[in-house]
Amino acid sequence: MIKGLTLRHIYLANGLLVGVLLSVGLGFFLGREYPAAPAARRAPPPQLPPGVTQLPQTNFQAWALNCLQNAQGNKRCQLSMRAFDPKQNGVVLQLVAARGGNGRPFLAIMTPNNAALPPGVRLALGNQGATIPFRNCTPQACQAITPLDGTLLYLLNTTPQARVSYNISSGQPVNYQLPTTGFNQAYAAWSGSEQGLPAIPAEAPPPPANAAKGEAKPGTPAATAKGTAAPAPKKAGE
């Protein structure tokens, strides 16, 4: 069956979110401290440079805002949603919104490291969706990254649930339903901490020019078919 994770599971997981920001010029290292399985050994928290502090986490329903601040008061932040599955006693999925080295925001979807790289991870919001290729897998996680553009911002703000699905290495499909509540307030807090983030569109942006050809641009989902229900993901070693 499709896994529906409640806000309670999100709260539990976001409470575990520490040390995922690594600063060398306040940059980010995604995947640190993401457990591949309940019994996986966690990596030690990254060491912050002198003068850089990690600010207290702020929660906005399903989302958590974590920021680093340097001695001059400049901040770099990320929004995250961590899904905790009590049956596996661990974090099974993570969505992270952050800024890349070019300053542009992106959304990273992080799964356990037993994901099958092709075809990627499927993200659906309402009746729109796209398949995002995995960029890489580490001992901590597999991650797929897509631009956090106007269409994706609008959908995260207006769609109450996100559906995330992928295949594990054995070929078994895994599906999750995640609440997106609180994104508007969380993104507003992020925008208040960092300058230059794009505003959430008040109306749905027009589809990309290649939508008529049936091509899905990452970060600008096109229509997708409904996925089939699937069993919960297996624990490592099963």
Q: Where are the domains of the chain?
A: 3-43+51-204
pLDDT at 36 (0 to 100): 34
Instruction: Calculate the CA 78 to chain-centre distance.
Output: 10
Using CA atoms, how far apart are residues 237 and 61, in angstroms rounded to an integer?
33
Mean pLDDT by 10-residue block, N- to C-terminus, for the chain (238 residues)? 39 36 28 34 65 90 92 91 79 91 92 91 94 90 94 96 92 91 96 94 81 45 31 35
pLDDT at 46 (0 to 100): 64
Task: Write out the two tokens for 139.
Answer: 């001992």
Pairing assessment for the beta strands 142-147 and 134-137 based on DSSP bridges: antiparallel
CATH level 3 topology of 3-43+51-204: Immunoglobulin-like (2.60.40)
* Residue 214 C-beta-side C-alpha neighbours within 13 Å: 1
Q: What is the dihedral of CA 154, 130, 197, 93, to 10 degrees?
A: 100
Angle between helices 183-193 and 150-158 (to 10 degrees): 130
pLDDT at 163 (0 to 100): 94
pLDDT at 208 (0 to 100): 67
40-76 per-residue burial string, b: 16 or more CB within 10 A, e: under 16: eeebeeeebeeebebeeebbbbbbbbbbbbbeeeeeb
pLDDT at 193 (0 to 100): 93
pLDDT at 44 (0 to 100): 59
